[in-house]
Structure 1
Amino acid sequence: MDSKLSNLNYCKNCGFEINNFAFCPECGAKKITKRITFKNLTQEFSDRFLNLDNSFIRTFVHLFTKPKDVIDGFINGLRKRYINVFSYFAISLTIASLYTFILKKYMEDIFAKTMVSEEQMEVSKIASDISFEYQSITSFLTIPILALISRLVFLNYKKYNLTEHLVIHLYAYSHITMVISFITLPILLTVENLYLVLWIQFPTSIFYIAYVLKKLYDLSWKKIILKTLLFFVIMSILFVIFSIVVAFIMIQTGVMPIDGTSSI
């Protein structure tokens, strides 16, 4: 069987003429001249996901070492060197979903070894079930809130607008979600200590976001610490307002009666 495809004169993706090109000059797609075989399929997988030069690994590493290059580059039109922000967010959601899928199987044992009472365990189970079920929705809601707070904190700086802060936090949130998943899953499955994981998650997330903003705005450590404290103040105020609104709605709907008994 012939392993070659018929001669390609036009790009299959955009229709641009590609007679003498290995890649389409219009959309950048690779010119495919061979039929799919196990060998070239594994080669393509290796090139895309295992090659140190591929865009995912480059993006992942540079969000540690050069976050300004990745994020500021995307904001200013750089599209080919790194994975775009929406694809990176989608990858992080996939990894977080896999993390949740694995964790669900062991949560009961983890709670049994961490919690000191049956009541505490029951409340924690309910909270984790809600968190797991609405994980994607929570991510979609959390990032705009972080972007809004971040824009308020840096209101005296005109470098990035609100939409650009959304891009910043999409990258930062996606990255730290993946990193924390990679770090905490082995800890939970071996040490089985939920509190240890929580102590890792929160400071790591705060430090990384502060680090990214420091690099993007070229701030000193003193200034970024002050900005982080202001971030906490605004976030705490919004959290209190949100908690009051939720509690009021729950009381009005009978989910949380004032006498403490639930109608559910």
Structure 2
Amino acid sequence: MNCKTCDFQLESTSNYCSNCGSKIVHERLSLWGTWEEFVGPFFSWDNNFWRTFFGLFKNPKDVLEAYINGARKKYFQPFSYIILYATIAVFFYKFFPMEIITDYSESFSGGFKTANTAAKTPKIDMNAYVETIMSYYNFFVLLLIPVYALTSYIIFYKRGHNFFEHLVFNSYLQTNLGFISLILQVILVNFSGMKFGTYSILFMLLFISFTLYAFKKLYNQTLKQSIISAIKYIFIFAAMYLAIIIFFSIVFGIIYAITLMK
């Protein structure tokens, strides 16, 4: 019997190829076999997904360092982790949309008209724009991973890791937070009726706490060092985050307004 992957000769009783490590499949496909091959491994507690997800809470140092140190089979690869989350998030928001209550269409239209007194400005409905942004809030948060990476790199640059290694660290951390956020949204916003503003504040506190906890474990920081890092992180990240939000809000707002005026 030969391995179907590398054609290496094997014993008829072999379950794995001694040359390439591939699993030897003897049975034909069936309903149960299909479940085991495609669905079962994902829900297995020994699966890389669960090992990565829970490992980032239990032992973040091991997970964060594994990929950059070359142990790339032990945990879920960081960018595949992001893609998995983004795929789940897209379908998630179709079933659990974020309800937006605040309507500031009138004030936006008035401000736009004031800035363009000569133009005929119709009333601009900002609800559709805001709902689109907020409905994919967690998805957009992932786009800020380079900002998270730059923030942690600025604070911890003396520790020896470069920007791209911080990009890996933050890809893991923010994706993990993304999965947690999906669960929190369903429980607190969709089912319990919590306002999005309150939810955002709660999630921001969770985000900062978890991120700094992970870096505390990664760099073996003392309590004093961790507090100083937390203060630096809040100020640096808040400044960059605010600047990006203002910039994109202005750009998208102008584009949306121009589209409605045509």
* TM-score interval (norm. to shorter): 0.7 to 0.9
The answer on whether the counterparts of 1:71 and 1:171 sit within 8 Å (CA) in structure 2 is: yes
Question: Cα gap change, 1:98/1:80 in structure 2, threshold over 3 Å: closer, same or farther?
Answer: same
Give ranges in structure 1 of 5+ residues lacking alignment.
1-6
| TM-score computed with the length of structure 1 as normaliser | 0.76
Alignment correspondent of 2:26: 33
Give the unaligned 5+ runs of structure 2.
108-124
2:122 counterpart residue number: none
How far apart in 1 are the matches of 2:245 and 2:83?
29
Are the counterparts in 2 of residues 92 and 177 from structure 1 also a CA contact under 8 Å? yes
- Give the drift of 1:229: 1.6
Distance 1:86 1:11, change over 3 A: farther
Match for residue 80 of structure 2?
Answer: 87
Q: Which has the higher contact order (CA 8 A, sep 6+)?
A: 2
Letter in 2 for 1:90: I
Tell me the SS of whatever aligns to 1:111: coil
CA contact (8 A) 1:151 1:165 kept: yes
Q: Is 2:8 aligned against 1:17?
A: yes
Aligned residue runs from structure 1 range 152-171, under 5 A: 152-158=154-160, 160-171=161-172
Within-5 A mapping of 1:78-227: 78-104=71-97, 107=98, 110-112=99-101, 115=102, 123=126, 125-132=128-135, 136=139, 138-139=140-141, 141-158=143-160, 160-194=161-195, 195-227=197-229
Shift of 1:149: 1.5
Q: Percent identity?
A: 25
Q: Structure 1 pair 256/65, CA: closer, same or farther in 2 (3 Å)?
A: same
Mapped contact 1:85–1:170 kept (Cα < 8 A): yes
Aligned-residue offset at 1:155: 2.0
Contact 1:256 1:263 in 2 (8 A): yes
Residue 246 (structure 1) shift:
5.4
Instruction: Spell out structure 1 runs of 4+ moving beyond 6 A.
Output: 247-251, 253-257
CA deviation map 1:39-83 (0-9, x unaligned) = 222333564023222222222111110111111112211122222
SS of the residue aligned with 1:156?
Answer: helix
Return the letter of the residue paired with 2:164: T
In the aligned structure 2, how far is the partner of 1:39 from the partner of 1:245? 52
Q: Does 1:61 align with 2:64?
A: no
How many pairs does the alignment contain?
A: 241
| C-alpha distance after superposition, 1:151-195 (max 9, x if no partner) | 11112221x111110110010011010011112212222222223
CA distance in 2: counterparts of 1:43 and 1:248, whole angstroms: 49
Q: CA deviation at 1:263?
A: 5.5
Residues 165, 26 of structure 1: alpha-carbon distance in 2 compared, 3 angstrom cutoff: farther
Aligned twin of 1:233: 235
